[in-house]
């Protein structure tokens, strides 16, 4: 990576860090240069008009002012294809329509050649959908209920498929484990946390009643070995 590429990469890293910022030592490890070199690079970016300011105190570092208008985020063909692959592998994932909308915006903002390269790479990736499908209408209501923090009423079928019950539940999380999607919710009739397989939900209706705030880990314990919380800002 030459200096021009590193300058751009530092600006992108600070953009993704948001208000937390990054220390010079963190950036030095990330880009395999000295902290002194990072300080010179940040000074060069500031002189070029990039709105970076130093945050003093313990844990302080460099912060990019996101309130200032910046050029569009640069996304490579490989990065766009990775996002598309995740969406294709799990088409029924929570917030799936939002993910596809975000991908469309990313592709629209990419240079034509990078977009073509992403398409070429995507055609070389074949995906098998091994997870039982969830009806879009059900997924959409659950997505909205999780965001709004409201109670929903489920028409739920048991494992044998012979018995159906109506449950008022408070959605708390969604999990993909053991090859199935589950809704983790506080069941009001059982007064306990319960796992509900999404493909066994025949119907779901959102109410306007607010769900009580509950801690997922305290209610359900640690996630299963084959599941873990989604990390959006992983420290590399």
Coil/strand/helix, residue 101: helix
The confidence score (pLDDT) of residue 226 equals 76
The confidence score (pLDDT) of residue 215 equals 94
Q: Give first-to-last CA distance, the chain, whole Å.
A: 18
Q: For the chain, how long is the longest CA-to-CA vector?
A: 70
Closest CA to 27 of 44, 15, 39, 16: 39
Domain layout of the chain by residue ranges: 3-64, 77-122, 136-220
- The mean pLDDT of the chain is 83
Edge-to-edge order in the sheet of strand 201-210: 192-197, 180-187, 164-177, 150-157, 201-210
The confidence score (pLDDT) of residue 211 equals 95
Beta bridge partners of 185: 171, 194
The confidence score (pLDDT) of residue 67 equals 67
Fold for the domain defined by 3-64: Arc Repressor Mutant, subunit A (1.10.10)
CB count, 10 Å around CB of 83? Answer: 17
Task: Report residue 235's pLDDT band, with 50, 70 and 90 as the boundaries.
Answer: very low
The pLDDT tens digits of the residues spanning 68-110 come to 655 556 677 888 888 887 777 666 666 677 777 777 877 776 7
Task: Find out whether 200 and 155 touch, Cβ atoms under 8 Å.
Answer: no
- Domain 3-64 and domain 136-220, same fold? Reply is no
Mean pLDDT of 204-226: 92
User: 191, exposed or middle or buried, with CB in 10 Å at 0-12, 13-18, 19+?
Assistant: exposed
The pLDDT tens digits of the residues spanning 51-63 come to 898 887 666 689 9
Task: Report residue 236's pLDDT band, with 50, 70 and 90 as the boundaries.
Answer: very low
Cβ contacts of 128-132, under 8 Å, gap ≥ 24: 129/89, 129/91, 130/179, 131/90, 131/92, 131/176, 131/179, 131/180, 131/181, 132/179, 132/180, 132/181, 132/198, 132/199
pTM above 0.75, yes or no: no
The confidence score (pLDDT) of residue 111 equals 75
Task: Report residue 208's pLDDT band, with 50, 70 and 90 as the boundaries.
Answer: very high
Task: Find out whether 145 and 208 touch, Cβ atoms under 8 Å.
Answer: no
Phi, psi of 71, deg, nearest 5: -60, 160
The confidence score (pLDDT) of residue 82 equals 80
Give the C-alpha distances (Å, rounded to integers) separating 177 from 142, 145, 224.
Answer: 18, 21, 7
Beta bridge partners of 203: 155
The confidence score (pLDDT) of residue 190 equals 93
2.30.30.520, 3.30.470.20, 3.40.50.11270, 3.40.50.720: CATH of 136-220: 2.30.30.520
Cα gap 134→115, rounded to integer Å:
30
> What's CA 155's distance to the chain center, in Å?
29
Cα gap 167→155, rounded to integer Å:
7
Q: What is the share, in percent, of the chain residues with pLDDT greater than 70?
A: 85
The pLDDT tens digits of the residues spanning 147-194 come to 899 999 999 998 777 788 999 999 999 888 887 889 999 999 999 999
């Amino acid at each position: 990576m030459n200096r021009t590429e590193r300058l751009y990469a530092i600006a992108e890293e600070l953009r993704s860090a948001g208000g937390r910022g990054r220390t010079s030592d963190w950036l030095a490890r990330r880009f395999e240069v000295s902290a002194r070199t990072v300080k010179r690079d940040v000074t060069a970016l500031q002189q070029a008009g990039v709105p970076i300011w130093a945050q003093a105190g313990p844990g302080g570092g460099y912060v990019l002012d996101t309130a200032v208008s910046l050029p569009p985020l640069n996304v490579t063909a490989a990065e766009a294809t990775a996002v598309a692959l995740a969406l294709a592998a799990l088409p029924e994932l929570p917030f799936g329509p939002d993910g596809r909308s975000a991908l469309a915006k990313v592709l629209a903002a990419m240079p034509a050649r990078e977009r073509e390269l992403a398409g070429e790479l995507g055609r070389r990736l074949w995906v098998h959908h091994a997870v039982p499908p969830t009806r879009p209408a059900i997924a959409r209501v659950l997505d909205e209920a999780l965001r709004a923090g409201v109670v929903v009423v489920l028409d739920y079928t048991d494992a044998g498929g012979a018995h159906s019950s109506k449950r008022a539940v408070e959605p708390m999380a969604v999990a993909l484990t053991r090859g199935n999607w589950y809704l983790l919710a506080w069941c009001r009739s059982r007064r306990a946390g319960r796992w509900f397989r999404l493909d066994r939900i025949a119907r779901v209706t959102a109410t306007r009643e607010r769900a009580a705030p509950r801690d997922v880990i305290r209610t359900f314990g640690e996630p299963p070995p084959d599941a873990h919380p989604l990390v959006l800002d992983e420290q590399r």
